[in-house]
Each structure stands twice: as C-alpha cells, then as structure tokens.
A and B are shown apart, each in its own frame.
Chain A
Amino acid sequence: MAETGGSKAGVAPSDRCAIGISFGNSYSSIACTSEDSPVVIANEDGDRQIPTILSYVEGEEYTGNQAKALLVRNPNNTVVSFKDFLGQDFPSIDPTHCHAAAHPQDVNGTVSFTIQDKAEGDASTLSVSEISTRYLRRLVQSASDYLGKKVTSAVVTAPTNFTEKQRESLIKAANDADLEILQLINEPIASVLAYDARPEAKLEDKIVVVADLGGTRSDVAVVASRGGLYTILATAHDYEFSGVQLDKVLMDHFAKEFMKKNANVDPRENAKSLAKLKAESEAVKKALSLGANANFSVESLADGIDFQLTINRLRYETIGRKVFEGFNRLVEGVIKKAELDVLDIDEVILSGGTSHTPRIASNFRSIFPATTVIQAPSTSATAINPSELQARGAALQASLIQEYESEDIDQSTHPAVTTVKHITNAIGVISLSDDGEEVFTPIIAPETAAPARRTIHIAAPKDGGNVLVKVVEGGTHIKVTKPEPKAKENGTKEEGAEDEDDSDFDSDEEEEEHREKVWKIGTTLAEAGIKDVKKGGKIEVTINVAGDLAVTITTREVGGKGGVRGTLKAA
C-alpha cells in the first residue's frame, strides 16, 4: 500500500517529533520510542488503551474512559465507534454500534453527528472528520504532555480494507489536528513489526497469521515475512465476531439472571439500564481474561434494584462458544483463502483487545500444529500485550522514517517500489537424508519478494571429494498418514464402553491422523560441481534472485577459493 502524509508539508525532519498511533473503533493507543524500544504512552487518566469516544457535557470535552463513563448519563452528546465512518458515504455505514450513543446522520451524503458541544446555544452538527480531528488532537496532546515537547508527526495504523478515500480522509482529519501523517501502515503489519523489532527476535522466513480481534470487528491477515520484508497473502474482515458480541453474550446472561429474581423487569428495555449492563459486562469480560472468576455488580441496575452475581470462566466460555468458534472459522477461512495449510503457518499473532481472552488462544493452539508459535498472553510468556501491538509497531515505523524528508517517504512507498514479483515456488538444493534419499533443502522460501538473496552452508559428503550442487524448485504438499493400527487396538480394548464413547472415539481417531508438510522436488534449475572438497568441509550456496527473476547462483567451499558462479536468465 503506498500512501503517506505529504499533504502537510513544513515539518523538517530535524524538527519532527513522531509517535505511533493506533486509531481503532473502540480503543486507540499512542506510543513513542525510547532508546529504540517502543513505549506505549498512558494518557492523563493513566490509560494505555484510550476508548475512542468523545463526549461533551456543558461545553466541556471528554475523551477516553471519562467519556465512556458518560455513556450512561449523557448518551446523546457522546460519539462512539466513529473511526470506520471516516471517508464513507452515509448509505454505506453500519450504525449499529452507535445505537446507545449519538446517532449518525446524513448531511449531504457525509456522516455527521448532532452534538451539544457548547455550554450555550444550539447543538452543532459535526462531521465525522471533525470528530476525528478533535479526538486525535486530544491523543496528540496526551503524547505531547508525556514527551514534554510538541508532537508534530505520526505513523497511524489503518485496517487493510480501508479504501483510498478513507485513508485520505484520515490523513485530512489528522492534518486538521496539526499532525503530519508520515505514513499509514496496515494494522497486521504493525503487529508483526512490533514482534520482529524485539531485540531477541531472529530474522527468519516465516508465514504469520495476524488475528486482530477488536471491539467491533475482527481482521485476520496471512503475512509472509521474508527476510524482514512483509507481504500480505490474504485478508479476511468480519463484523459479526468481535468483542461486542462477547459483551452481548454476557449482557444477555446477566439480564436473564436478573429477570429470574425480578420477573417483570428487563434491564435491556431501559436505555440507562442497558448502558450500565453493557459497561459492567465489558468489565467482567476483561476480568475473566485475567482471573477464573469475576464479579458482576451494578447498583440500581433497573427499577432501583441492585444486582450482583459471580461468573466463572468456564461458564463464560460455554455461553460464548458460538463467538469463539466464529474466530476459529475466520482464521481457518483466511488460511484457505491464501491457499495454505495450517502446517504452513509458523506463527500466529493475536492482537486487539479481545485477544486477551485465554479461550481464543487455546482454541488456536488446538487448530495449529505444535510447531506453530501462538503469540498470546495466555499461551506465551514472552507475548506482547495484544492491545499495544499496533501502537508499538507504528511507533517503531515512526522512529525509522522520521529522519526522512516526506518526499523520500512518498517515493519509497510508491507502487513502483513496493510492487514486485514474488516467486511462487521455493528454491533449494537437493541433499541426501540419512537413509540416502534425495531431499529438497529450501534456500529461498516460496512467496519471497524479488530481488532476494539467501545463503546457506551445507555439509559436503563425509569423505569430501567432488560434490554436486543441484538447484531445484520445490513445492510443498500435505502428507496425511493414516491412523496407525495401534490406535484401533486401543479402541477395541475399550469396546465395553463403546456406545457412550462412540463419538469421542471417532474424534480420537481423527486426531491420530498424522499430517505433515513434505517438500516435493520440482523443476531442476541448474547443476554445479564443486571438486576436491576437503573431508568434513562445507559448501556455501548463495542464490540471488534479481527483480526480473534472473537467478545468480554462487557456490564454493567454505574457506575455499574460487567457486562456481552461473546465471539463469529470466523466464
């Protein structure tokens, strides 16, 4: 994606003070870098996840959690969930999430809200762009207060399906808030970058699934990370399975429990009760991500009746199963869309607030093979807080590019630079396995962007001598091994309890089915001979794919002189 700020000139690289902003529908975060490591900034209330809400009471402006608290008392002057409306026409927006707050209106096709934003006088009609500007201004103010100097520029994350028009209006809204947008980066990439920029991270070729499970939407992307270059292979966007759905589940649960005790009072009927129910349900959801039990307690929930109830995590996971399974299907669907298999996935990064839920991570754990790393707080101790990933990634990107002229940034992100050929098949050499079979050893992984260069050191035959370096293309296929008969024996032993355990037995059998990823040797690209290799020596093979897919192969003995070099012309 090639879009950057640039429209707001005048901030020289030396005067820049750049931060990363993750501007979400439900929550936003701001981050800066200190000594090359990203730090998420807390606003004046001490929140690192700042609800994307703007509220006005008697001319006073509130954002974040202060504004969120006002949803109960002051819903009509409180704007929520407005970010997705940016740059959209009124007919194409989904106003569901604004139901319990200020309602969007159609003003000449643009989305607007009527808000009493002054202490006196009539209510004013504010476009969603104006609302965003005001909200961003507050974010920037918080960051400036934290840093002690005026923040001039930012890298902002955007969903991958943000249209060109939406990106433009986001940039405009930011520019109106005196903020230069250095670059808009895709949300999943920001998350990947946040992980890859950790000092302990190794530079590997891997396929990453980024599941960004947010409050109002879930986005999943399959990203090929090849030598630090990221390519999105497939994306999926979902507005049905998200954090608010889990809130809804809890709200219904608590409402029903409440009605058991107070038969004729439904807290969902009354707007104020509903707002209280929703706020507390969200708090309970968050508490259940951390602890096994959580207490729901609202004073005067409806008709002046107080309500208190404890719920445990198991109960929550049972009632929310539908939503959790939705997340599973979403991830599986996008992998299929990328024409890959779960076995191809090396890493799953969970980002977004909903990712704190342990159940989602453990569900993913069971989908993916054991070799896949699931980066979520409940499955990995080293995982980064999923809510902070995007802001951190944006801050890292901001620190990388803030010293460049905006013109340079524009040119670098131009499609001419970013759109390149990606090789479909892996390139590698043939080596011998322990049983003497020919095995494909990948050097450049599939979906690597050209130009690319990779080097491997590979052992020569034990006795040395002349060695054949055969460079081939390789593909993968999934080898399914049938369940071993041993499993059946187990089954027959338990035959006494067959009737009850029948279904369990079947699923057991399925789990026993062994699937593995196997390399298949494809077209031979070239052969090279290295002569008189020392005993126990090693061969260095460097494959260099040029932008036009011409291949240069250099191979020599490690520590040796000369070597063999040859070029394959582009197809």
Chain B
Amino acid sequence: MATVTTVTRALPALPEGWSAEKDFKPISSITASTQRTIEPVGPHFLAHARRARHKRTFSEDDRIQAQETAKNIEKDDESDESEPEDPMMLQREAKDWKSQDHYQVLGLSKYRWKATEDQIKRAHRKKVLKHHPDKKAAQGSTEDDNFFKCIQKATEVLLDPVKRRQFDSVDERADVDPPTRKEAAKGNYYKLWSRVFKSEARFSKQQPVPSFGDENSTKEEVDNFYNFWYNFDSWRSFEYLDEDVPDDNENRDQKRHMERKNANARKKKKAEDNARLRKMLDDCSAGDERIKKFRQEANAAKNKKRLDKENAEKQAKEEARLKKEAEEKAAKEAEEKAKADREANKKAKEAAKNAVKKNKRVLRGSVKDANYFAAGDASAAQIDAVLNDVELVQGKIDPDEIAALAGKLNGLKVADEIKGVWSEEVKRLIGAGKLKEGDAKNLV
C-alpha cells in the first residue's frame, strides 16, 4: 500500500543498555493464521493476482507498474509527432481548403477516419504551437498565416461530426483499392480483400461489420458477410463536393438552380458509389473460393438428388418406349394377320363361289343330261320350266347342299336317276319347309 497512516502517539524511548546486532532483535514469528479465500473482485485484487502470478513482491510490482505507465506516456508523445510535413503542403492557400487533406494538415494521415477526437485536438494544438503566425513573425519571416488558416479549417472540419462525416465520405486517400486479379491470385486473397472491406466498413451505419474471414470460415459466416454487404446501409454522402451556391440575394433563380444541380449531383454520385460497391462485391464473390466450394458442396448434394431423379426418369422412359414398341409390333402383326386372313377369306369365298357356279353348272347340266325330263326333244317351255325350278331349288339351298347335290348328280347320265335325285332333293326341301308343296313340280 502506498498510503501511509500517521499516528501521533509517540514511540517509547530506547531503554538503557539495549543493544542488538544491526539494531534489530527478532524474537518470534506470527503465531496464528487461517486459510481463507479472498474475493477475486476489485482493482486491488487484480494487483494481487498480478503479483501472485508473476511471483513479484510489492516493491518489484510497484517498480514494474511505474515503468509501464511511464513507457505508455512516452509512447503517446512519440506517436503524435512522427509525420514529416510536406513542403508543398505548407505552401497551400487557405482559400483552397476544400481540396486540402485535413488529416495530412494535422499530421494524422495514418489515422484518418480512425483518429479520435482527442487525437485531433492534440494534433491541432501541436500544429498551432508550431505554425502560429506570431511565432513566424518572431522568427523574422513574412507575415504569412496561410498554413495556420489551413490548420484552423482542418480542425473546424474534423471536430464537427457532421462536417467530418462529409469529408470522410470523399476522403479517397483512406480507400483501399480492391486487389487486381493478379494480386489476388498470388495467394493472399483473403488478406487483401478483408483490408478493402475493413476500409469500406467505415461507411456502415451498422457497427460492427461482419468480417471477411478466411478460407476456414463457415458457410454461415460467408453468407452473413455477403448478405450484409449486398444490403449495405451506408452513411456516405457527397455534400462535400458540392459546387458553391452563391450566397447573395440578387439572383434567387440561379441559387435555386445551383442547389438543384448539387442535389442531383449528390444523388448521382451516391448511385455511382452504390454501383461501385456492388461491382466490387460481384468481383470479390466471383473470385471467392469459399463460395465455389460451398456451391460445389451444395451442388454435389443437389446433383446427387437430381441424377437419381434423372436416372429414374430415364429408366421409366426406356421402359415406356419398349412397351410402346412391343405394342406397336403386336398391332402390326395383328393387322398383317388380319389382312392375310381377309385375303384368304376372299380367295376361299371366290373358290366357293366358283364351286357354287360349277356345281350350279353341274345341276343345270344334269337336267340337260336328263333332257329336261322330257321324252324326245324338250320344248322351250319345258326347258324353261325345268331350269326355273332348278334355279328355285338352287336359291333355296346353301352352297354345301349344292355341292352335295352336285356330287350326287355328277356322273349320272340316266335321266331317271337324275330325276330321282332331284325329286328326292325337292321332297327333302318340302319336308324341311323350304319349298312349298307344288313348287318345282317339274323336278318331281
């Protein structure tokens, strides 16, 4: 403990004759102690833990801590004044403040948008001490306060959060250019791109911004990253690049015209910026091995499914085709068969017809052979009547019977026998009810 308690009660005087080696006389040790747990809470415990873990004594720890704090202060001082001033910059005209790099003017080039308010204030103070016009006058140089004005302007812009954002929006020197294909191909793709996105992230309204990650990032992280960036909500605006609006009351129309023009220009630039970011993201994702990997993995899974499905479909189609072919073949065969049948039928019919004709000729021939059952020359009427009856009988019986009848009549030459066959046939037909009694009486 660094604190010291003061006690006003006096110490006793040394008794006479007291003596000890080096004036110190150890007598005994601490008599009692308890093992207890101290609560790991509070700044003093942290100090205790530090001492215990590094096995330092009180005085060692005090010394080390003191050294560390001292070092920190030194480092702070160092970091502030390390930027050399560009002689060109010192020549700047204050009225061109719009084109000046405020961070460079204050010597904060390496911090830029990361510079804290405190850093800006300190940098300003440092620069003012150095460049104050009164000091320059004291050194005997001309009264040139242009750079001093630049410093004041830079501080004014950077300490006003609204103006600082406007300036940061157009601070191209803070941009990190996306790597070219060649650079990215060299292997440090993730490092280069993550640097780009880290710099772009300064425009995000939403903080923190998901990091770009590396080749081991999970799909979720990568998706999250790209989703965030494709829906990037940026505060970047381009007021800083506005053309000056004339501030007189003389020409209102012109003023309005300028304002409109500026607003349009801002809008256009914003759109361009969005397009730029989008293109950058497209470029980045196009070269992103992780996306390819994830897509391949997803595709592999999907393809497997698709292939299975396709195979199944193909098989089904093949089967259907085979079936159809078989059916067609069967149909064709059946047709051919039917055709053949038809032809055979036709032939048979014709043959039958011919046979009937032949048989009919036989029948007619038989009555002719029998001389129409007339004795002597048959009269025309007799012939006619007999032939009519033959026709009648022929009409009443079917081809088979005709054939049978023809079979019976064939070869018979004797008129009575022929007549017998005919009369028998007529009788049979009358018996069967096909002929009426009295029909074909010429044949009986």
Residues in A lying within 8 Å of B, measured CB to CB: 1-2, 15, 149-150, 183, 185-186, 189-190, 193, 196-197, 203, 223, 227-233, 393, 396-397, 400-401, 411-413, 415-425, 427, 429-433, 438-439, 441, 443, 447, 449-451, 453-462, 465-470, 473, 522-531, 538-540, 544-547, 549-551, 553, 564-571
Contacts A/B (CB < 8 Å), 14 sampled = A228-B43, A228-B45, A229-B38, A419-B37, A421-B35, A425-B31, A432-B9, A451-B58, A453-B58, A459-B11, A461-B12, A531-B23, A551-B30, A565-B24
In the docked arrangement, what's the CA distance between A183 and B41, Å? 9
Q: B8 and A459: CB pair below 8 A?
A: yes
Contact partner of A455 among B4, B11, B23, CB < 8 A?
A: B4
Q: Which residues from chain A contact B14 at a C-beta distance below 8 Å?
A: 465-468, 529-531
Q: B37 and A526: CB pair below 8 A?
A: no
Chain A residue at minimal CB-CB distance from B34? A422
Chain A residue at minimal CB-CB distance from B31? A523
**Besides the known contacts A197-B42, A473-B30, A566-B26, 10 further A-B residue pairs in the complex with CB atoms under 8 A apart:** A15-B208, A420-B35, A423-B32, A453-B1, A459-B11, A461-B11, A524-B28, A528-B20, A544-B58, A564-B22
- Does B142 sit at the interface, judged by CB under 8 A? no
In the docked arrangement, what's the CA distance between A439 and B4, Å? 20
Q: Which residues from chain A contact B30 at a C-beta distance below 8 Å?
A: 423, 425, 427, 473, 525, 545, 549, 551, 568, 570-571
Q: Which residues from chain B contact A451 at a C-beta distance below 8 Å?
A: 51, 57-58
Chain A residue at minimal CB-CB distance from B14? A466
Q: Which residues from chain B contact A530 at a C-beta distance below 8 Å?
A: 14, 23
Q: Which residues from chain B contact A400 at a C-beta distance below 8 Å?
A: 42-43, 46
In the docked arrangement, what's the CA distance between A547 and B55, Å? 10
Contact partner of B1 among A149, A455, A466, CB < 8 A?
A: A455
Chain B residue at minimal CB-CB distance from A545? B30
Kindly provide the distance from the CB of A463 to the nearest chain B CB, expressed in whole angstroms.
8
Contact partner of A468 among B13, B28, B33, CB < 8 A?
A: B13
- Does B49 sit at the interface, judged by CB under 8 A? yes
Q: Which residues from chain A contact B99 at a C-beta distance below 8 Å?
A: none
Kindly provide the distance from the CB of A521 to the nearest chain B CB, expressed in whole angstroms.
12
Sorted from nearest, which 5 A-B pairs have the closest CB atoms? A228-B44, A566-B24, A466-B14, A412-B49, A424-B32
In the docked arrangement, what's the CA distance between A545 and B1, Å? 12
Q: B35 and A458: CB pair below 8 A?
A: no
Q: A450 and B11: CB pair below 8 A?
A: no
Q: A196 and B42: CB pair below 8 A?
A: yes
Interface of A, secondary structure class, is strand
In the docked arrangement, what's the CA distance between A568 and B43, Å? 30
Kindly provide the distance from the CB of B206 to the nearest chain A CB, expressed in whole angstroms.
10
Kindly provide the distance from the CB of B327 to the nearest chain A CB, expressed in whole angstroms.
54
In the docked arrangement, what's the CA distance between A526 and B30, Å? 11
Q: A450 and B33: CB pair below 8 A?
A: yes
Contact partner of B31 among A190, A416, A522, A544, CB < 8 A?
A: A522
In the docked arrangement, what's the CA distance between A65 and B134, Å? 64
- Does B375 sit at the interface, judged by CB under 8 A? no
Q: B58 and A528: CB pair below 8 A?
A: no
Q: Which residues from chain A contact B5 at a C-beta distance below 8 Å?
A: 443, 454-457
Q: Which residues from chain B contact A566 at a C-beta distance below 8 Å?
A: 22, 24-26
Q: B208 and A421: CB pair below 8 A?
A: no
Chain B residue at minimal CB-CB distance from A155? B41
- Does B249 sit at the interface, judged by CB under 8 A? no
Q: A424 and B13: CB pair below 8 A?
A: no
Kindly provide the distance from the CB of B89 to the nearest chain A CB, expressed in whole angstroms.
33
Q: Which residues from chain B contact A203 at a C-beta distance below 8 Å?
A: 1, 3, 44
In the docked arrangement, what's the CA distance between A465 and B5, Å? 23
Kindly provide the distance from the CB of A182 to the nearest chain B CB, expressed in whole angstroms.
11
In the docked arrangement, what's the CA distance between A450 and B27, Å? 20
Q: Which residues from chain B contact A193 at a C-beta distance below 8 Å?
A: 41-42
- Does B29 sit at the interface, judged by CB under 8 A? yes
Q: Which residues from chain B contact A416 at a C-beta distance below 8 Å?
A: 52
Kindly provide the distance from the CB of B378 to the nearest chain A CB, expressed in whole angstroms.
114
Kindly provide the distance from the CB of B222 to the nearest chain A CB, expressed in whole angstroms.
17
Kindly provide the distance from the CB of A12 to the nearest chain B CB, expressed in whole angstroms.
11
Q: A570 and B11: CB pair below 8 A?
A: no
Q: Which residues from chain A contact B4 at a C-beta distance below 8 Å?
A: 455-457, 540
In the docked arrangement, what's the CA distance between A114 and B199, Å? 50
- Does B40 sit at the interface, judged by CB under 8 A? yes
Contact partner of B207 among A149, A420, A458, CB < 8 A?
A: A149
In the docked arrangement, what's the CA distance between A223 and B44, Å? 15
Q: Which residues from chain A contact B15 at a C-beta distance below 8 Å?
A: 468
Q: A564 and B24: CB pair below 8 A?
A: yes
- Does B10 sit at the interface, judged by CB under 8 A? yes
Contact partner of B39 among A232, A453, A473, A529, CB < 8 A?
A: A232
Q: Which residues from chain A contact B25 at a C-beta distance below 8 Å?
A: 526-528, 566
Q: Which residues from chain A contact B207 at a C-beta distance below 8 Å?
A: 149
In the docked arrangement, what's the CA distance between A150 and B206, Å? 11
In the docked arrangement, what's the CA distance between A469 and B24, Å? 9
Q: Which residues from chain B contact A454 at a C-beta distance below 8 Å?
A: 1, 5
Contact partner of B9 among A439, A453, A551, A567, CB < 8 A?
A: A439
Kindly provide the distance from the CB of A326 to the nearest chain B CB, expressed in whole angstroms.
27
- Does B53 sit at the interface, judged by CB under 8 A? yes
Kindly provide the distance from the CB of A504 to the nearest chain B CB, expressed in whole angstroms.
41
Q: Which residues from chain A contact B70 at a C-beta distance below 8 Å?
A: none
- Does B6 sit at the interface, judged by CB under 8 A? yes
Contact partner of A230 among B28, B34, B41, CB < 8 A?
A: B41
Q: B31 and A473: CB pair below 8 A?
A: yes
Q: Which residues from chain B contact A569 at a C-beta distance below 8 Å?
A: 26, 29
- Does B182 sit at the interface, judged by CB under 8 A? no
In the docked arrangement, what's the CA distance between A231 and B53, Å? 19
In the docked arrangement, what's the CA distance between A417 and B48, Å? 8
Q: A231 and B37: CB pair below 8 A?
A: yes
Q: Which residues from chain A contact B52 at a C-beta distance below 8 Å?
A: 416-417, 547
Q: Which residues from chain B contact A397 at a C-beta distance below 8 Å?
A: 41-42
Q: B12 and A438: CB pair below 8 A?
A: yes
Q: Which residues from chain B contact A531 at a C-beta distance below 8 Å?
A: 14, 23
In the docked arrangement, what's the CA distance between A397 and B35, Å? 25
In the docked arrangement, what's the CA distance between A373 and B59, Å? 33
Known: A1-B40, A230-B39. A567 touches B26 (CB 8 A): yes
In the docked arrangement, what's the CA distance between A457 and B3, Å? 10
- Does B7 sit at the interface, judged by CB under 8 A? yes
